[in-house]
Structure 1
Amino acid sequence: MADDRLTLSERCVLLVLMAEARELTNAELSVVAGIKLDGRYRRRLNEMDLVTSTMVNRAFVHELTDRGALWCAAELSEERPARSGCAGGALYSVLAGLGRHLDRRGVALADVFQPDAGVPTDVEVAVARAYADLTAGSGKPLRLAVLRERLGDVPRNEVDQALEVMGRRRDVHVRAEADQRALTTADHDAAVVLGGTARHLLTIEVPR
């Protein structure tokens, strides 16, 4: 099932989509794994029916197909690609170990990688996607005023609730602006109150 035409980056895209078990934009792929899928690489994976890419709000959303899932399952028993370096070697060593474990237990790959049960209300996904898009996957602080403008069709109370839930995660920070004099009227209006404190900035850490 392995295909020598796939680059290591393309293989990594497939494996990330498998592990996340959900559709991802390029901005989200960048936040999660520091990679993206565009141009001829996107077209090739689309043509091979390994990934579907749908344009949503001027950004492609990528999702693993059934054929892509089968490719990932078969990849657990493949040798590491040539010239993949130490990171590729480590990745394929882990995949092989995972494959042996699944074989011993008689467990399917799809039973291991599933959407995070604690995540993804639709609004949380929308907030994370908007953040990743607006920050270009940089992990920099984003003004809630800018975020709310992007999520204009989402009720404010639902965005507030999503920010409160997401703020409990270790990699998500909803903070007050340290320099209060820098706040605009829009910043004050867009603030969410958590723990009795008005918060103006959202940061979602990028994995290193």
Structure 2
Amino acid sequence: MAADLTTPARQALIALMVRAERTSNPDLKQRYRVEITKPAREELTAQKLITWETGARRAIFYELTDLGWARARQEFRSPPPEKVSAAWLLHYATLRHLDSLLARGDQQIADLYAEPDPGPPPAGTVEERIRGAYADLAEKPGDLIRLVLVRDRLTDITRDEQDRVLEEMDRRREIHLDPDPARNELPQEALDAAILIGGEAKHLITIGPA
């Protein structure tokens, strides 16, 4: 039952269940403010509840195993972890209702999580989204951030629209775009994400203090 996993491991298990597909820590943190820590990863791996691998930019990608899905199903009938926030108490109350619904309809967890979570609809203008993505990625205003990382968070916005707004912000001097001095060592995805300003490819973005 639930006592065999720590609270961070249980939260990681739930996050992977609702995401319902292979996913990374940055994605989980952006969507649910959940991050799978090394101890939780090792705990879940030791019990063969997840698989994981390192992908591009050293991001770790996670996925539930069949045992992991079965263990996640137990959470529907388990008491919530101790000393968690009200949001998690409400979440477990919702799981209890879902458990009753699944039992009455003789359905499985796969019927409930058949499709990956599309996430909430993005909010804000394109400019606000760019600023928000930069703020999430930078440790402090003025840090140089690869443009590809910003674009990774704007996949619902067309490339043309991203470029149009970036050019406008650059023209108003609200951002600064730079070429990467190590451009010859950049991965192809970073090269493809560059924006041409004055005929020069810019791979880095800086946004200073407001």
TM-score in terms of structure 2 length: 0.61
Tell me the residue number matched to 2:190. none
Tell me the residue number matched to 2:183. none
C-alpha distance in 1 between matches for 2:35 and 2:25: 5
TM-score in terms of structure 1 length: 0.61
Tell me the residue number matched to 2:47. 48
Per chain length, whose mean CA-contact separation is higher, i.e. which structure has more relative contact order (CA < 8 Å, sep 6+)?
1
C-alpha distance in 2 between matches for 1:68 and 1:62: 11
C-alpha distance in 1 between matches for 2:39 and 2:11: 16
- Whether the aligned pair in 1 keeps the contact of 2:15 and 2:34 (CA below 8 Å) is no
Tell me the residue number matched to 2:109. 109
2:2 aligned counterpart, secondary structure: coil
- Whether the aligned pair in 2 keeps the contact of 1:18 and 1:64 (CA below 8 Å) is yes
State the percentage of identical aligned residues: 24
The one-letter code of the counterpart of 2:59 is A
Cα deviation per residue 1:104-158 (whole Å; 9 max; x = unaligned)? Answer: 222221122122589xxxxxxxxxxxx98995499x9x99x9334x79xxxxxxx
Report how many residues are paired.
163
Shift of 1:94: 0.6
C-alpha distance in 1 between matches for 2:134 and 2:42: 21
C-alpha distance in 2 between matches for 1:83 and 1:117: 29
| Structure number with larger C-alpha Rg | 2
Instruction: Specify whether residues 136 and 38 from structure 1 end up closer, same or farther in structure 2 by C-alpha distance, changes over 3 A only.
Output: farther
Tell me the residue number matched to 1:63. 63
Taking only aligned residues, the RMSD between alpha carbons, in angstroms, comes to 4.1
Q: Which runs of 5+ in 2 are unaligned?
A: 120-131, 180-193, 197-203, 206-210
C-alpha distance in 1 between matches for 2:93 and 2:105: 19
The one-letter code of the counterpart of 1:115 is P
The one-letter code of the counterpart of 1:61 is F
Q: 1:190 aligns with which of 167, 188, 195?
A: 195
Q: 1:178 aligns with which of 125, 150, 169?
A: 169
